[in-house]
Structure formats: structure tokens, C-alpha cells
Amino acid sequence: MKVVLDTNVLISGIFFAGSPSKILDEWNKGTIEFVLSPEILREYTRVAGILSTIYPKIDINHIINHISSNSEMISTSPLSEQICDDPDDDMFLACALSSKCMIVISGDKHLLKQTGYQKVVVLTPKLFIEKYLIDPIK
């Protein structure tokens, strides 16, 4: 299953425990695949660089390189108009649409409001885990 990961989920998964880190664990196991664009990778790198000054013991460059090397990198087509309240969030929808993966995982309230846009589902990390990763038999 392919997903687009919002920056806040990736960064939370790297620096903190919880649902975002479980998603990164599942990605490392190969349960899910990440799809990203050059714009998303730049955003990941920018925000991670800021946090790496606060958490210098974490080798963030290694993590970002690992993610970029082990994710599907695609070129995106721009959206025809601004969709999200924060125009920077549109890149996640554009990536989902261009890759046809149709799932964005985000904790951003502005991006979450756009679930259903051209059939893209935007889910919180917790809801994504509940819907796609928890074995219902257990």
C-alpha cells in the first residue's frame, strides 16, 4: 500500500514515540510504501534540519537519505487551483493524485479538512493505523 506522508507525521515519527513512529516502523518492515515528490523531500529536509539542532544526537541526514532512497519519488502536476488553506499543503494532495496512491497521512487540521478532494483520503496517523494496519482478527 502506497501513502503520502505529511511532514508533521514524518518528523513526529522520527523524533517522538506514538502512531507516527509506528507508521515509520511499518514502512521499515515493507508493509507500506512512501511516495514523495522533490518538493516534499525539500520540506522534510528543511524541517528536520531545524529540529536536528534541538536533537543533535539523531542523525537526521542519514534518516532523510534512507527515506529518499527507499521511497517512490515522483514528479507531480500542480493542482489547478489552491485547495488547502495553507498553500504549502497542496503538494501532498498533488503527490497523492499524481501517484494515484490516494492516501495522505497527516495531523494538519487544514489538510485533514480536504479529505475526499478528488477521492484522496486524508487520515490522521491513528486512524490510518486503525483502518489499515491493525489485524482485525487479533
Q: Residue 86 is part of a domain; what is its CATH number?
A: 3.40.50.1010
In a domain, 22, yes or no: yes
Q: What is the span of the domain harbouring residue 100? A: 2-133
Range of weakest confidence among 68-72, 75-79, 108-112: 75-79
Range of weakest confidence among 23-27, 34-38, 47-51, 108-112: 47-51
When pLDDT is averaged across residues 42-63 and rounded to a whole number, the result is: 86
Rounded to whole angstroms, the Cα distance separating 44 from 69 reads 14
Domain count, the chain: 1
Nearest in space to 11 (alpha carbons), one of 57, 46, 38, 35? 46
Nearest in space to 64 (alpha carbons), one of 44, 84, 91, 82? 44
Residue type, 112: L
In a domain, 138, yes or no: no
Nearest in space to 117 (alpha carbons), one of 73, 84, 75, 74? 84
What confidence tens digit (pLDDT) does each residue in 102-121 have?
999 999 999 999 998 899 99
In a domain, 100, yes or no: yes
